Amino acid sequence: MAALNLNANLPVYIQWPDDAALTLIQRRRAYQPLFTRTRLHDQKQLWRGIARDIRNNHTFRPTRKQCREKWNALKAGYENLERLINRNPDDYPTRTPSLHDERFHQELSDEFWRVERKYLLFN
């Protein structure tokens, strides 16, 4: 009889080293023009390139999915901390900031990812 893996559907949380998280932000910034021109469905290659850049420069070895998830967590953390700093005028739910939220707040303060998406009509 096969053993059941009760943890199969649970998310796996990894601890990102600060230097790898900073490289993620820097690479995501560098790829921003490509993200604005690429449909969401087709962005896997961009995340694959970012993961490769991190693996080539650090001992940390994230997958493209882990890079995308960490990026989304960094953005959410930045937005949460902004709400807390600004006394949450719209009364959104907030949480206690993580160490990465605080460490990378300044690095994300230009909000470079907030640009209009420009889809190519003929891909």
Burial of 52 (0-12, 13-18, 19+ CB in 10 A): middle
Contacts of 110 (CB under 8 A, 6+ apart): none
The 10s digit of each residue's pLDDT in 49-81 is: 999 999 999 999 999 999 999 999 999 999 999
Q: Are 49 and 31 in contact (CB under 8 A)?
A: yes
Residue 6 placed within a domain? no
* pTM of the predicted protein model: 0.82
Q: How many domains does the chain have?
A: 1
Residue 57 placed within a domain? yes
84-93 long-range contacts, CB within 8 A, separation 24+: none
Which domain does 36 fall in, by range? 18-117
Residue 122 placed within a domain? no
Nearest to 66 by CA among 104, 121, 15: 15
For residue 1, pLDDT over 60 is answered with no
